[in-house]
Amino acid sequence: MRIVADENIPLLDAFFAEQGEIATYPGREIRREHLLQADALLVRSVTKVDAALLARTPVRFVGTCTIGTDHLDLPGLKAAGINVSSAPGCNARGVVEYVLSCLLTLSERTGLAWRNRRVGIIGAGEVGGRLATTLTALGVDCLLCDPPRAERGESGFVSLDELLAQADVITCHVPLNKQGPHATQHLLNAERLAKLAPGTWLINSSRGPVVDNQALAALLPQRQDLQVALDVWEHEPQVKLALAAQCALASPHVAGYSLDGKLRGTEQIYRAFCAHFQLPVARALSELAPSAGLASLTVDAQTPADWALSKALRLVYDVRDDDARFRAAMVGLIEGDEQIARRFDQLRKHYPLRRECSHLGLLSAAGAVTPLDWSAAGFSC
């Protein structure tokens, strides 16, 4: 069996080496000629996969080690008889930590207590649902908007217009759907962006085109009361530098880029691969994942809860680091420069090692380290 894969999939050899020969390429450079003798294609979000890419090749299984599938032509691949699997929820914890870090940072910069702000979550799936659970456990008032689920008769959701009118913070967690009754391309268009309440914080870590970037760039010079954090961009890896300069926080599509999330994605696709080819599941992430050690946070009965929370978040992940690296990489470039896309991809390819909150422990005054249970500690994640 021959497997063609994105070179940036972690633990690729550990999971798949026994299944056959593996050929790796940069994700954006995978071409049809690489697949002429392949049985399976394993990708991440940067590889556009459609029936034309796989035409007259032996490939009958495509696995994307990512939560999203907008880079896959699902109808075309289904019509061609190709089995497709994704990894829903694999990076949800990392994205939640990204949003929490954005809230903490914007709170410090504005002087507004983030726990007192009403958070509107657009999309209540794997990521949005986990975020809502986390914030609610932290005492934050949340509004949820998920039209497909509301249409199925589920309760607890508000309309998008209600959310925009009532939320102090808006965070997007929807897939990119370009058409249909629940299309999300330019969900936040010029008209809706203009309705944002004074002082709104807008966070997008879903897909770039969910927010009309051109409209947002035109609005921000007139609305300096808005605080915007963008991790995803229209036309990425190309980025509109004028918009990035106006954002409070800007990063290169790395909100869910924890190593743990990537590893879960690889394992989920490995299991789907084995099911498709009727092979035994011989590997498990619990056996293969590298140890992170356990960072510790010293707490006692007198430790203020808010201090402990902010310190814990910063030990796990600090969005300011990603923002600083992104801005430094774009220094000296001008709008439309081809180097923008290259540097964007390089930031992702050489992203620093990042683990999740499960690798943080609480150190008591007696010196005992207990792995942090975020839900039990009130920091549900």
DSSP structure string for 159-196: -HHHHHHH-SEEEE------SSTT--TTSB-HHHHHTP
DSSP structure string for 293-322: --EEEE--TTS-HHHHHHHHHHHH--HHHH
Task: Please return the burial class of 301, using the count of CB atoms within 10 Å of its CB with bins 0-12, 13-18 and 19+.
Answer: exposed
What residue type is 180 in one-letter code?
A: G
| Beta strand segments in 97-164, E | 119-122, 142-145
**Torsions phi, psi for 62 (to 5 deg):** -125, 125
Contact of 120 with 166, CB cutoff 8 Å: yes
At 378 the three-state DSSP class reads coil
351's tokens: 């992203």
Residues noted as catalytic: 207, 236, 253
